[in-house]
Amino acid sequence: MKRSVLTRYRAMAYVTAVMLLVLCTCMVFKYGFGMGKDLTLVVSQIHGVLYIIYLVFAFDLGSKAKWKFGKLLWVLISGTIPTAAFFVERQVVREVEPLIAGDAPEPVQA
């Protein structure tokens, strides 16, 4: 597995998690204080598009790491739970790093 697969996943995990927190904040202002209706619409659409990209990258990583369905499902759903993606991303990196290190070619001895 290439490191770029993990890097793409990590970037989208952070972006999706931050956008979900922004969306939650916008929704508090919209429903709690009656302001920011248009901003909430824009942020929700941006988060939706970014979440779809996150799903693609997470599925790609999961298929290359040969995860079981339950693990893959948990990683995919973590993008919908505020702050969960931050914690799941750390766990995924710890599990996938050895797979990437195992693919590194061994140095040639002279």
Q: Band of the pLDDT at 105, cuts 50, 70, 90?
A: low
* Residue 25 is assigned to a structural domain of this protein: yes
Report CA 107 to chain centroid distance, whole Å. 33
* Residue 110 is assigned to a structural domain of this protein: no
* Residue 2 is assigned to a structural domain of this protein: yes
* Residue 108 is assigned to a structural domain of this protein: no
Please give the full DSSP string across 16-63, using - where no structure is assigned: HHHHHHHHHHHHHHHHHHS--HHHHHHHHHHHHHHHHHHHHHHHHHHH
* Residue 106 is assigned to a structural domain of this protein: no
pLDDT (average), residues 86-95: 93
* Residue 41 is assigned to a structural domain of this protein: yes
Between 22-31, 61-70, 94-103, the lowest mean confidence (pLDDT) is in 94-103
Return the number of other C-beta atoms located less than 10 Å from residue 81's C-beta.
12
- pLDDT over 70 at 110, yes or no: no
Between 11-25, 66-80, 96-110, the lowest mean confidence (pLDDT) is in 96-110
pLDDT digits (tens, 9 = 90+) for 46-83: 999 999 999 999 999 999 999 999 999 999 999 889 89
Q: How wide is the angle at C-alpha 15 spanned by C-alphas 14 and 16, nearest 5°?
A: 90
**In which domain, by residue range, is 48 found?**
1-99
* Residue 65 is assigned to a structural domain of this protein: yes
- pLDDT over 90 at 40, yes or no: yes
* Residue 72 is assigned to a structural domain of this protein: yes
Predicted pLDDT of residue 70: 93
The number of distinct structural domains making up the chain is 1
CA distance 73 to 92: 13
pTM for this model (two decimals): 0.85
